[in-house]
Amino acid sequence: MSVRVALLERTARGGLLHSLRLVGATADESWKPAGLRADADQSPEHYAQGAAWIKERLVGPRTRDSLELLVLDPTGGVCSWMNVSHGDLAKLAIQARSSGVPDDLEGATPSISPVEFFASSSTDSSVQPLGFEQTTAVADAKPSRRQIAGKKADQAADANNGSRRLAVLALTDVPARVMLDALDHEGIRTAGVASFWHALAMAWSPGAGAGAQRVAADPLTQTPSATDTAAVILVEDTGRLSWCWCERDRLLCAGVMRCPVVRNADQSADAESLVALGKDDIARLASEWLSWSVQTQASPTRIVCVLPKNLAVPSASPPDAPANTIGLSAGEFGEALASTWRGALLDMVVHEDPLGATLRRLVSFLESTPASPTPDSRTALLDLAARPGRQHRTMYLWTAGALVALAVAAGVVGWRFRSQAEDARQTVRGWGDAWRPTVEQLFPAALAPRPTFTSLMELEDEVKRRQEAVTGPDKVAKARPILPEFESISLVVGAPGIKLQEISLDSTERPQRVVVVAPTTAEAEAVLEGLKRVGGSMLTDWNFTVQPEGTGDERRVTLTAKWPARERSPGK
């Protein structure tokens, strides 16, 4: 299966579709809307044509019906910074859109920020903070200089009420939204959406694709600095210079600027355009990098520079060409950049089509790198990547169908319960019609209305009275010989020195109790033996407990016994 990447080029500050470019491992094709006099005349049908064009090239014997990545060009985008004190991405986007730059004059109207200029509304633009998620690959690796500087920045932020600087990417994305919907209508699944700066970081960063198969053969990854912060500069043949800072394949910050473009020596309409790179462009770039170094507390230690071959150098210009139309060669540009940004390693790449080379390297990176299970703001545009499509609508339809089925099932169960309740009421009415005539004949008083009494209560009382009349009173159990036992116990506890405190005898099955006070423990034991051996006593199982009585030698003795079990009468 071949990975395909589509570049969406836009015009009118990113608000209109200009062209599409589809790149794969062995294919590189471009498309522009046909029949347009101006870009402003385009309609949704042109997006549908572009989606159909992509579908024709994706569907084949060795391809698949999905687009791995949709890349948005830098037109209509900006990368700025802001102070943040929380981690809510939605609140960060609102804060970035409303954080205008105050004017120095008192009472003057604040000027709008770059983010608000390019992405003033959430309905037609995306705002995304960078450097927010920490992936396992970066967290498990040896800490880089930027990570160490980031920890210092976090410590400084904690000291400054938790506020810290954060890079924010903002861009107009209406064409991307319409194109995603058109692709979804054609049945083309888009796995991810990224800005051109994200693509630069993934394609040219020395640490991109760590652990992938292409690392061993890529000269950019053969130095120890592959894991440090790197800068990527790409100059297109149209004069647009795009740059980004990245760590591995993760975007940290980015920017774009324009370089002079001049005609070739013949000055004809079909003449090749040449890019005139000068030292003033390097000065502008270095000035912007210095400001970002202050904000991010880091700087790149390696620079990858991708330049086109159509540079306006003296050899490609006529002898009488003005000085301002002649720029630096690739080598001169690299030397000037290395001398301006000292201490950084420089890799120079010259290509006829830097943009196409970037997209092809991106395809190679995606083919050799496993997909991330969770989206990262430093490798993709989260809002566009999570845009609902056909799968979401299918899920909603299945969910709605399941809810309808549950509602129908609940209705059927409720109807059955109602039917069963009606049957129960019919049964109750049948029982009522069955017993009422009999009660009216045998006991009509039960049906007479009485306050707080029902017919059932009257019937229950009548049935109880008649049962008592038929059965008669219960037999009374034979009383126990309490008086004879009292006499027998008195003979024993009447011994000299024994003080009687309590005799508790009754006819119940509970233990019978006798409490006396004996001079010593030995005499208490003698009382117990006397009760066991006294003649004529029916109590059995005598036991006693001894406790001190007062401060002397006297003992309080509690004696307990039981009546013998009653003999059951026949039939009981």
pLDDT reported for residue 37: 64
- pLDDT, one tens digit per residue, over 413-468 is 999 999 999 999 999 888 878 877 877 777 777 777 767 677 777 778 878 888 87
The pair phi, psi for residue 224, each rounded to 5°, is -65, -15
Entry pTM = 0.65
Cβ partners under 8 Å of residue 174, min gap 6: 14, 15, 124, 125
Q: Which residue has the tokens 């500069």?
A: 233
pLDDT reported for residue 126: 85
pLDDT reported for residue 566: 74
CB 205 within 8 A of CB 83: no
Average pLDDT, the chain: 80
pLDDT reported for residue 474: 62
Distance CA 62, CA 1 (A): 6
- Give the three-class secondary structure for 9: strand
The two tokens of residue 440 are 């009216």
Q: Which residue has the tokens 């992405």?
A: 119
Q: Within 10 A of 23 (CB to CB), how many other CB atoms are there?
A: 25
Distance CA 246, CA 365 (A): 15
The pair phi, psi for residue 297, each rounded to 5°, is 60, 35
CB 431 within 8 A of CB 439: no
pLDDT reported for residue 318: 55
pLDDT reported for residue 144: 47
Please give the C-alpha separations between residue 188 and each of 44, 59, 151, in angstroms, as whole numbers.
17, 9, 42
Please give the C-alpha separations between residue 476 and each of 473, 479, 480, 497, 572, in angstroms, as whole numbers.
9, 9, 12, 42, 13
Q: Any idea what the Cα angle at residue 114 is, between residues 109 and 116, rounded to 5°? A: 70
The two tokens of residue 1 are 């299966």
Q: What is the DSSP letter of 454?
A: -
Residue type, 373: P
Buried residues in 233-249 as b, exposed as e (16+ CB within 10 A): bbbbbebbbbbbbbbbb
Give per-10-residue mean pLDDT for the chain (572 aa).
Answer: 87 89 91 75 86 87 75 92 71 72 48 75 83 43 45 46 75 91 90 92 80 55 67 94 90 92 63 84 94 88 92 68 73 93 90 93 86 73 82 85 94 93 90 80 74 75 81 69 88 86 86 90 89 86 88 87 74 45
Distance CA 305, CA 232 (A): 6
pLDDT reported for residue 61: 52
pLDDT reported for residue 40: 66
Distance CA 274, CA 326 (A): 9
Sheet with 229-235, side-by-side order of all strands: 250-258, 240-247, 229-235, 302-308, 345-351
pLDDT reported for residue 365: 86
Cβ partners under 8 Å of residue 67, min gap 6: 4, 5, 6, 54, 58, 183, 188, 189, 190, 191
pLDDT reported for residue 158: 45
